[in-house]
Structure 1
């Protein structure tokens, strides 16, 4: 679909569409092809691995900070998410599990209070949507991932920042293995 069609569909000007596409290109989400238009950029496996390596550092920081900063109510929310994730895996619902996975990571980032890390992670995560969804649908992946997520929750609840960071890094290391496999 071209800029004219998009502008008509969304009731905006062609210049507005062009500006949005330039913005999305700057974020690495869209690639503009000369004389052909724009398309969603495909992230290679190696790019997904490199992005996940960056996430490992930033999400590890967020988990460590959440272990110290989270309120009792926030810890209870993480526990509830862990129970819901366990149920989704037991019920064979990978799409629900994937949604809960995303929610867990978002809550940990939020509870960390580290705005800069959160903003960087949101930009990185936007590029990985396709890969994350594909991983959730691989046989056996939700079961393995669940154990890793429960370990992250447990270490945050124990208010052990070092263990929380280590658990997140182990989980994302497993994601990298899955991406390459």
Structure 2
């Protein structure tokens, strides 16, 4: 009589790092929560060694902190750090907006126009959850359209670190009434294929975020 042993199928390292990062950004793990290798191994179907390497990668991104003889935990980002991150993002996101405006194709323009309509509808309807998700989609789309791999890589690491504060900001009273026109202005500038206007609209939006974070201190 033969027996069958169910083996764990280990996932690739970049994919595992991304999956754990996404779980942290979704709020599956809270700031300061310990990340147990055995639990993560079971959850993601990965070996303990792969989980350990993924946590080291995330520690390098500043999303996780290693604890001497205690494994790792989700790193909590202070408001002051969040402000510094947004200040760094300004230059990178201006660059991506410029490139997106320069690279826009007719097909991309149609997709972006549809996204613009969804953002406007969510804002008008007061759909905060849907609006927050659409904003993330818009930011990701602008990065993709830029085609600037280095800026995108740096931005994704910065966004991962400040995700918690971005979430708080999305639900700040009255925020949707300010941010929706700002996001639409960015989209409109990209659709107009105007790099200067796209960069300017992006800077205005991010400087507003810095001001709000400053008020949260």
- State TM-score, norm by structure 1: 0.93
Count of residues in correspondence between the two structures: 181
Pairing partner for 1:144 from 178, 187, 194:
178
How far 1:6 moved relative to its partner? 3.2
Please give the residue correspondences for 1:48-59 in structure 2 after superposition, counting only pairs within 5 Å: 48-59=82-93
Using the alignment, how far apart are the partners of 1:103 and 1:11 within structure 2?
28
Whichever structure has more helix as a proportion of its residues is 1
Pairing partner for 1:17 from 29, 51, 55:
51
Task: Specify every segment of 5 or more residues in structure 2 that has no aligned partner in the other structure, as ranges.
Answer: 1-34
Cα RMSD for the two superposed structures: 1.5
Using the alignment, how far apart are the partners of 1:66 and 1:74 within structure 2?
10
Using the alignment, how far apart are the partners of 1:35 and 1:111 within structure 2?
43
Task: Specify every segment of 5 or more residues in structure 1 that has no aligned partner in the other structure, as ranges.
Answer: none
Are the structure 2 counterparts of residues 10 and 147 from structure 1 closer, same or farther at C-alpha, using a change threshold of 3 Å?
A: closer
- State TM-score, norm by structure 2: 0.78
Task: Report the counterpart of residue 11 of structure 2 in structure 1.
Answer: none
Bigger Rg, which one: 2
Task: Report the counterpart of residue 161 of structure 1 in structure 2.
Answer: 195
How far 1:37 moved relative to its partner? 2.4
Higher relative contact order (CA 8 A, sep 6+): 1
- Tell me whether 1:176 sits opposite 2:196 in the alignment: no
